[in-house]
Amino acid sequence: MSHPDYVISELITHAAPMILIDTIDQYSEDALQAKVTITEASPFLYDGSVPAYVGLEYMAQSVACFSGIRARNADQPIREGYLISTRRLSLNRQEFSLGETLTIHVSLVHDFGDMSSFDCQVNKDETMLANARLNVYQPLEFEGTNLRELG
């Protein structure tokens, strides 16, 4: 079940139809768990499946949700974020199938203010389907202007 306080469209700078995460189930000061179910309406669905490399975007959007919750909890504006690098990406499958519900786990490893690193996984039940370390950059605001308003 989705955490009732977290509306994904209010936490990240993406807009429909490119919001790929369905729900946020858990949040703590150093981790987040989200879910996505592959449906007929899923972006990137082709011939009954979504390519496994889209799991990288599931992980990135989960990191964005984590950052959005932290900003909201600190009464700060939501900031634009950029995936700078991916290390040790492992895809243990070619695709995610129609009807599957995937759980995305992201854990904060390093926080250097505007640069952060996260260990991430995409799982189905107890099976890890993809994992990576994501390095992200969130620039500071420009002269009090929310970056969301610029783009």
Give the mean pLDDT of the chain.
Answer: 90
The identity of residue 127, as a single letter, is T
pLDDT for residue 1? 40
Task: Report whether 135 contacts 115 (CB < 8 A).
Answer: yes
Residue 93 forms part of a structural domain: yes
Residue 2 forms part of a structural domain: no
Residue 53 is inside which H or E element, if any?
none
Task: Report whether 31 contacts 98 (CB < 8 A).
Answer: no
The string of pLDDT tens digits covering residues 57-68 is 999 999 999 999
3-state class (DSSP) for residue 148? helix
- In which domain, by residue range, is 44 found? 8-150
What is the C-alpha to C-alpha distance for residues 32 and 34, in angstroms, rounded to an integer? 7
Residue 3 forms part of a structural domain: no
Is 80 exceeded by the pLDDT of residue 145?
no
pLDDT for residue 113? 86
- The total number of structural domains in the chain stands at 1
The string of pLDDT tens digits covering residues 91-144 is 999 999 999 999 999 999 999 989 999 999 999 999 999 999 999 999 876 545
pLDDT for residue 129? 97
Q: What's the CATH code of the domain at 84? A: 3.10.129.10
pLDDT for residue 4? 56
